[in-house]
Amino acid sequence: MSRVILMLGFIVLTSCSTLRDSSSPSPALYVFDCGKLYFSDVTSFGLTNQETAVRDLFVPCYLIRHKDGMLFWDAGLSLDVVGQGDVALQPGTTMSYDRSVLDQLGDLGVQPSDVDFIALSHMHFDHAGAANAFTGATLLIQKTEYEAAFTPADENPIFDPSLYSELANNETRLLNGDHDVFGDGSVRILSAPGHTPGHQVLFLDLDDYGPLVLSGDLYHFRASRTLRRTPEFNTDAMQTLKSMDKIEAFLKQSGATLWIEHDKALADTLELAPAFYK
Ligand SMILES: [Zn+2]
């Protein structure tokens, strides 16, 4: 039986300090290569093919190790793609995935059953690929996303319920806004709806690297950020623009760096697991 706890939403943006309790050790962030996407045409992202030269997108997964537990954030492409080379998704779009994130976690001595929390920025297929392996983790999801994903999701072609259907039985916390995962301010989910009904981003307060926000799909490209563009496959463009305003204000106030998760040029500069950021 799933146990669903309705969490009252709260706004941390203005009411809380952005810095965590300084007595608490920094969490550690591991970045995994969970696939690549190639688009010959990027107009579905709300950009012309002249506005960005980027056609390759990185698909990440992340593990956050905190003294009180582990959070897995975004679950990459489907594990069925692993080792298949370039797999056609639709004309002009391919995906590839070299090594399962479950094997990459295994390199760290981590099994999915060791993970306490799973949260996805949203439930689109390229963020949910390994989700079904995390049935023992507490699912942290906005109530609006849960409703979109678990009630007739078949109508939305970007949701692939087969990738996350096992999570329906997980212990689940339905969120209604921002959420401090471990209660010390160091790992915080920030609600940023619009791309999907319950899209969210992740704030991490890291000692050495500094404060960091993982974008989810608030932006897909750097040009999406500078030009404030929303994709065609978006639930609510106005809501997305409001979420961009919210997160940009948060970045300014907190001094956090933003990692656009799909930014392959950024990913090429990052140290992947077993290296970590703290
Ligand atoms: Zn995505």
CB 163 within 8 A of CB 35: no
Strand residues in the chain grouped as ranges (E):
4-6, 28-39, 56-66, 69-75, 87-90, 93-96, 117-119, 138-142, 172-175, 179-180, 187-191, 200-206, 210-214, 257-259
% of the chain beyond a pLDDT of 70: 90
Site of tokens 């072609």:
157
pLDDT band at 155 (very low <50, low <70, confident <90, very high): low
58: helix, coil or strand?
Answer: strand
Compute the distance from residue 224 Cα to the ligand 1 centre, in Å: 13
Q: Cα(145)–Cα(141) distance, rounded to whole angstroms?
A: 7
Alpha helices in 129-220 (DSSP H): 143-150
Compute the distance from residue 261 Cα to the ligand 1 centre, in Å: 8
Residue 1 has pLDDT above 90, yes or no: no
The model carries a pTM of 0.91
Compute the distance from residue 172 Cα to the ligand 1 centre, in Å: 23
CA dihedral (234, 236, 139, 143) positive or negative? negative
Compute the distance from residue 41 Cα to the ligand 1 centre, in Å: 16
Structure tokens at 27: 């969490």
Question: Which one-letter amino acid corresponds to residue 157?
Answer: P
Compute the distance from residue 1 Cα to the ligand 1 centre, in Å: 30
Alpha helices in the chain (DSSP H): 101-107, 143-150, 222-227, 237-254, 264-267
Q: Which residues surround ligand 1, an ion (CB under 5 A)?
A: 126, 217
pLDDT at 23: 64
- Which has the closest alpha carbon to 99: 272, 276, 275, 278? 272
CA dihedral (145, 147, 150, 156) positive or negative? negative
pLDDT at 33: 98
pLDDT at 11: 39
Sheet of strand 200-206, all strands in order from the earlier edge strand to the far edge: 179-180, 187-191, 200-206, 210-214, 257-259
Per-residue buried b or exposed e for 215-248, using 16+ beta carbons within 10 Å of the residue's own CB: bbbbbbbebbbeeebbbeebbbeebbeebbebbe
Compute the distance from residue 271 Cα to the ligand 1 centre, in Å: 20
pLDDT in tens, 213-244: 999 999 999 999 999 999 999 999 999 999 99
Domain 27-267 has CATH 3.40.50.2300: no
Q: What angle do CA 124, 140, 80 make, to 5 degrees?
A: 40
Compute the distance from residue 32 Cα to the ligand 1 centre, in Å: 15
Compute the distance from residue 106 Cα to the ligand 1 centre, in Å: 24
Compute the distance from residue 126 Cα to the ligand 1 centre, in Å: 5
Compute the distance from residue 229 Cα to the ligand 1 centre, in Å: 15
The residue ranges of every structural domain in the chain are 27-267
Compute the distance from residue 22 Cα to the ligand 1 centre, in Å: 33
Compute the distance from residue 65 Cα to the ligand 1 centre, in Å: 23
Cis upstream peptide for 274 (omega within 30°): yes
Compute the distance from residue 57 Cα to the ligand 1 centre, in Å: 9
Compute the distance from residue 258 Cα to the ligand 1 centre, in Å: 16
Cβ-proximal residues to 133 (8 Å cutoff; 6+ apart), any chain? 79, 102, 112
The strand pair at 117-119 and 69-75 is best described as parallel
Q: Mean pLDDT, to the nearest integer, of 62-91? A: 97
Question: Which one-letter amino acid corresponds to residue 214?
Answer: L
Compute the distance from residue 116 Cα to the ligand 1 centre, in Å: 23
Residue 183 has pLDDT above 60, yes or no: yes
Compute the distance from residue 186 Cα to the ligand 1 centre, in Å: 24
pLDDT at 24: 73
Structure tokens at 176: 């209604």
CA dihedral (22, 117, 3, 149) positive or negative? positive
Residue 20 has pLDDT above 80, yes or no: no
CB 96 within 8 A of CB 81: yes
Compute the distance from residue 195 Cα to the ligand 1 centre, in Å: 10
CB atoms within 10 A of CB 252: 9
